[in-house]
């Protein structure tokens, strides 16, 4: 029952801008779950929900994602060897790679599941990473710089 309820919580927050535990409780009750505030609080802690500001400036529950690069060592080595330079303009990070290596490096970036990345496009030797805002671009750029030679 607990796993099913927690999966329902994840489904609800993914599809609805839930700002409070009370809103979450109402949604769960509408789905047929008889739940207390204490149980919701425990579930939020166990499934690692956090509040993040959305594009409308409202805080809502979302699943915590570790923004460190959770990829294996082999992929990181490919990234390190492929990348020549990093730069940004506004909300776009540009990654220059050795010829033919952009796709391999882009796969590593995609695997990071960095929550601020909107999308990633790779050519032969260039990757464009679209981010939600300029601050996110700067943060990602600084983070990626740690992993290149």
Domain extent listing, the chain: 2-63, 73-145
Residue 149: what pLDDT? 63
pLDDT digits (tens, 9 = 90+) for 95-125: 999 998 888 888 888 877 788 999 999 998 9
CA dist., res. 134 & res. 129, Å (int): 12
If you write DSSP's letter for every residue of 58-96 in order, what string do you get? -EEEEE----S----HHHHHHHHHHEEEEEEETTEEEEE
Greater confidence (115 vs 140) lies with 140
Strand ranges of the sheet holding 83-89, from the earlier edge strand across to the other edge: 83-89, 92-97, 126-131, 117-122
| Residue 63 and residue 48 in contact, taking contact as beta carbons nearer than 8 Å | yes
CATH level 2 (architecture), domain 2-63:
Orthogonal Bundle (1.10)
Global pTM exceeds 0.75: no
Take residue 29 and report the two structure tokens written for it.
Answer: 């009750």
Residue 8: what pLDDT? 93
pLDDT digits (tens, 9 = 90+) for 21-68: 999 999 999 999 999 988 998 898 888 888 887 778 888 888 866 544
Task: Name 102's Cβ contacts closer than 8 Å, sequence gap at least 6.
Answer: 82, 95, 122, 123, 124, 125, 126, 127
- CA dihedral in degrees (110, 113, 118, 123; nearest 10)? -10
What is the Rg, in whole angstroms, of the alpha carbon atoms belonging to the chain? 19
Residue 69: what pLDDT? 43
- The stretch 61-77 carries a mean pLDDT of 66
The listed CATH number (3.40.50.12500, 3.20.20.80, 2.30.140.10, 3.30.1360.40) that belongs to domain 73-145? 3.30.1360.40
Residue 72: what pLDDT? 62
| Residue 108 and residue 69 in contact, taking contact as beta carbons nearer than 8 Å | yes
| Helices and strands per DSSP (H, E), number in the chain | 6, 6
Residue 79: what pLDDT? 87
Helices (H), the chain: 2-15, 21-30, 37-46, 73-82, 102-111, 134-145
């Amino acid at each position: 029952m607990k796993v099913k309820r927690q999966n329902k919580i994840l489904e609800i927050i993914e599809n609805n801008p839930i700002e409070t535990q009370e809103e979450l409780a109402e949604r769960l009750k509408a789905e047929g779950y008889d739940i207390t505030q204490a149980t919701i609080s425990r579930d939020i802690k166990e499934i690692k929900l956090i509040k993040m500001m959305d594009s409308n400036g409202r805080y809502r529950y979302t699943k915590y994602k570790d923004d460190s690069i959770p990829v294996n060592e082999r992929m990181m080595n490919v990234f390190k060897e492929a990348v020549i330079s990093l730069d940004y303009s506004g909300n776009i990070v540009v990654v220059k790679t050795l010829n033919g290596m952009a796709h391999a490096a882009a796969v590593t970036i995609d695997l990071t599941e960095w929550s601020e990345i909107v999308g990633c496009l790779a050519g032969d030797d260039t990757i464009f990473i679209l981010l939600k805002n300029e601050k996110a671009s700067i943060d990602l750029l600084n983070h990626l710089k740690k992993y290149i030679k």
